[in-house]
Amino acid sequence: MEIKILGTGCPNCRTLEKATRDTVDELGIDATISKEEDIMKIMAYGVMHTPALVVNEKVVSSGRIPSKNELRKLLTN
């Protein structure tokens, strides 16, 4: 699984990155997690509000930090 955190480095972006990494570790998911901070690359995903979460090149959340339970569902579906 390939996971990307899209965001310019704001506190919410860092919070989503940590929550995502923690959830991947808890669930034992085999995933590559990367952070994209280039605004042009972020906009290429059609994201206008960060932070955003991309799983296997599909934007699954944008403009907010999902709850822990929601994050689990997004990463296991």
Residue from 56, 32, 33, 54 nearest 45 by CA: 54
Q: Please pick, among 1, 8, 9, 10, the residue that the annotation labels catalytic.
A: 10
- Catalytic residue status for 10: yes
Distance (Å, whole) CA 52 – CA 28: 22
Q: Please pick, among 3, 5, 6, 13, the residue that the annotation labels catalytic.
A: 13
- Catalytic residue status for 30: no
Residues that are catalytic: 10, 13
